[in-house]
């Protein structure tokens, strides 16, 4: 019987959370100079968040921009009439962001900002955005998204979130596992599930409202779905044997799963409304780690049917199977970029595990990482950054790399080890 329960989010609020800190390790050779002036604020009390600092941190984290230090600024304009382009050109800045925050009734705030091209002496972006005090940080991320899109042509992903699993050793044989939800920059972590048993494979629904994941809390692996708004939690599979690797279909109506209920690990699709279970693969090899093609008409998966694990794709209508990877002695954990062109995976060659990307049109494969125990890649919704788990100095941490390999940063936890990252879609 399907078991439905409701988790109280405040239950675990007192527990130590694995908050992430971001350390940039590599950026592009010639980042674009930009000055983000502290936002104006006329009230006596301090703002709950430093809007300008959040925007600056977002742009810096992309690796594409060089942020001007505040202590190097000659002036602090908050509106166009206070901008003297000559000063900023002399400071070698190409772009300038100014803005101010105003209070509104009901503990709300309005942020006005303007982006200037210093060289052309033109305003190129202007907007205002309003929200509550608790939304200030999210609004700051959305401003950074708008600036990133204006200057790169690519939508930003700073206002998204990530989930990950933290593991803290309590004794020699006892661990506490926590499923954590945080902003994409690692801020504002909150625990949505804790267990003394492992938690694996968190997967976002495409509307960002639900997570699917594997929990061993009953003594064997089972797949759960949890609503992030209400905390409502539902066990959807608990078959004998393996229940693993849930992946949401693009329409949010199905889950692809790995089940061994019929003996061998195979790929299945669960229709969530009817609970109808459809077996997709039928092979003596081990088939696991499904992910959906962007049109929902086929599923990619890892299989050892041809020898060492490689990535295959099966059309759902016809059953036709195609092998996609050939380089290296191991390729697994496939993820597609949102345009469907690039395949990100765990790639092993000569015993070393890296994150790699393969262009599905040309077949070219590029190694993105330099560490040696990389796993669990997940792609930002704009396709620019891959977050993954790795080991640095015997500690499990999260790291990230751009799809072209130029930008790299790590996200170590202040408490415990972290693993199994999953990047959200765009959020409302």
Tens-place pLDDT, residues 405-426? 999 988 878 777 999 999 999 9
Q: In the structure, what pLDDT confidence band is assigned to residue 3 with cuts at 50, 70 and 90?
A: very low
- What helix, strand, coil percent values describe the chain, rounded to 5? 10, 45, 45
Residue 103, pLDDT above cutoff 90:
yes
- Band of the pLDDT at 18, cuts 50, 70, 90? low
The most distant pair of C-alpha atoms in the chain lies apart, rounded to whole Å, by 73
Q: From CA 192, how far away is CA 224, in angstroms rounded? A: 13
Q: How does DSSP classify residue 6?
A: E
- The predicted model scores a pTM of 0.90
Interatomic CA distance for residues 102 and 311, integer angstroms: 53
Nearest Cα to Cα of residue 207 among 159, 253, 245: 253
Give me the numbers of helices (H) and strands (E) for the chain, helices first please: 3, 31
| Structure-block tokens of residue 40 | 């104006």
pLDDT of 24 reads 74
DSSP 262: T
Q: Which residue has the higher pLDDT, 116 or 415?
A: 116
Domain 4-19+160-423, architecture per CATH: 6 Propeller (2.120)
pLDDT in tens, 82-97: 999 999 999 999 999 9
What count of Cα atoms within 13 Å lies in the side-chain half-sphere of residue 291?
Answer: 24
Closest CA to 168 of 180, 182, 185: 180
Question: Residues of the chain with pLDDT > 70: what percent?
Answer: 96
pLDDT digits (tens, 9 = 90+) for 256-306: 999 999 999 999 999 999 999 999 999 999 999 999 999 999 999 999 999
Domain pair 4-19+160-423 / 31-152, same fold: no
What pLDDT score was predicted for residue 413? 80
User: Can you tell me whether residue 332 is helix, strand or coil?
Assistant: strand
Contact 131, 141 (CB under 8 A): no
**Could you tell me if 403 and 388 are in contact, meaning their C-beta atoms sit under 8 angstroms apart?**
no
**Which pLDDT score is estimated for 180?**
95
26 has pLDDT over 90? no
Give the confidence band of 393 by pLDDT, cuts at 50, 70, 90: confident
Per the listing, tokens 């794709």 go with: 313
Whether the predicted pLDDT of 10 surpasses 50: no
* Confidence bin at 17 (pLDDT 50/70/90): low
Task: Tell the CATH topology of 31-152.
Answer: Rossmann fold (3.40.50)
User: What span, in angstroms and rounded, lies between the C-alpha atoms of 30 and 34?
Assistant: 12
pLDDT at 318 over 80: yes
pLDDT band at 15 (very low <50, low <70, confident <90, very high): very low
Mean pLDDT of the chain: 92
Tell me how far apart the terminal alpha carbons of the chain are, to the nearest angstrom.
Answer: 34
pLDDT higher than threshold 70 for residue 396: yes
Residue 9: the pLDDT is: 30
Query: Residue ranges of the domains in the chain?
Result: 4-19+160-423, 31-152
Angle at 208 between CA 103 and CA 62, to 5 degrees: 70
With 60 as the cut, is the pLDDT of residue 29 above it?
yes
- Range of lowest pLDDT (47-61, 367-381, 412-426): 412-426
Of 16-25, 73-82, 413-422, the one with minimum mean pLDDT is: 16-25
Spatial separation of the C-alpha atoms in residues 235 and 17, rounded to whole Å: 25
Q: What pLDDT, on a 0 to 100 scale, did the predictor assign at position 147?
A: 98
Q: Is the pLDDT of residue 404 over 60?
A: yes
Model pLDDT for residues 177-232, shown as the tens digit of each residue: 999 999 999 999 999 999 999 999 999 999 999 999 999 999 999 999 999 999 99
The whole-number average pLDDT for the span 52-81 is 95
% of the chain beyond a pLDDT of 90: 82
Burial of 209 (0-12, 13-18, 19+ CB in 10 A): middle
* Opening angle at CA 190, ends 179 and 19, nearest 5: 85
Surface-to-core class of residue 338, CB atoms within 10 Å of its CB (0-12 exposed, 13-18 middle, 19+ buried): middle
Q: How far apart are CA 372 and CA 350, in angstroms?
A: 11
Query: What Å distances lie between residue 297 and 314, 317, 331, 371, CA to CA?
Result: 9, 7, 22, 35
What is the distance between the alpha carbons of residues 173 and 182, in angstroms, rounded to a whole number? 28
The tally of CA atoms less than 13 A away on the side-chain side of residue 36 is 21
Which pLDDT belongs to residue 174? 85
Nearest to 366 by CA among 392, 388, 347: 347
């Amino acid at each position: 019987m399907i078991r439905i329960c409701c988790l109280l989010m405040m239950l675990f609020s007192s527990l130590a959370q694995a908050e992430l800190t971001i350390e940039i390790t590599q950026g592009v050779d010639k980042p674009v100079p930009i000055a983000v002036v502290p936002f104006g604020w006329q009230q006596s009390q301090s703002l709950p968040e430093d809007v300008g600092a959040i925007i600056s941190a977002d742009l810096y984290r992309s690796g594409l921009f060089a942020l001007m230090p505040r202590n190097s600024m000659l002036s602090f304009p908050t509106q166009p009439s206070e901008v003297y382009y000559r000063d900023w050109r002399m400071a070698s800045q190409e772009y300038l962001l100014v803005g101010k925050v105003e209070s509104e009734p009901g503990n709300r705030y309005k942020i006005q900002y303007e982006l200037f091209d210093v060289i052309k002496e033109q305003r190129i972006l202007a907007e205002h955005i309003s929200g509550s005090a608790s939304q200030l940080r999210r609004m700051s991320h959305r401003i950074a998204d708008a600036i990133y899109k204006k200057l790169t042509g690519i939508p930003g992903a700073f206002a998204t979130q990530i989930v990950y699993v933290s593991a803290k050793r309590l004794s020699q044989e006892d661990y506490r596992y926590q499923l954590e939800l945080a902003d994409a920059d690692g801020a504002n972590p909150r625990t949505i599930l804790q267990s003394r048993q492992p938690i694996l494979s968190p997967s976002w629904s495409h509307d960002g409202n639900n997570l699917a994941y594997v929990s061993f809390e009953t003594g064997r692996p089972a797949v759960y779905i949890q609503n992030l708004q209400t905390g409502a939690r539902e066990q959807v599979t608990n078959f004998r044997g393996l229940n693993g690797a849930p992946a949401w279909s693009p329409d949010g109506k199905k889950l692809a799963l790995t089940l061994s209920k019929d003996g061998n690990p195979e790929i299945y699709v669960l229709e969530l409304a009817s609970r109808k279970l459809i077996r997709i693969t039928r092979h003596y090899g081990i088939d696991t780690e499904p992910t959906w093609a962007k049109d929902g008409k086929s599923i990619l998966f890892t299989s050892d049917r041809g020898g060492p694990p490689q990535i295959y794709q099966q059309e759902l209508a016809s059953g036709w199977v195609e092998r996609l990877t050939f380089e290296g002695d191991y390729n697994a954990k496939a993820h597609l970029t949102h345009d469907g062109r690039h395949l990100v995976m765990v790639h092993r060659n000569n015993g070393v595990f890296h994150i790699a990307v393969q262009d599905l049109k040309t077949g070219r494969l590029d190694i993105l990482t330099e560490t040696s125990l990389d796993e669990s890649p997940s792609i930002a919704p704009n396709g620019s950054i891959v977050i993954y788990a790795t080991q640095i100095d015997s500690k499990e941490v999260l790291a990230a790399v751009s799809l072209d390999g130029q930008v790299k940063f790590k996200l170590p936890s202040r408490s415990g080890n972290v693993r199994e990252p999953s990047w959200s879609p765009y959020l409302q």
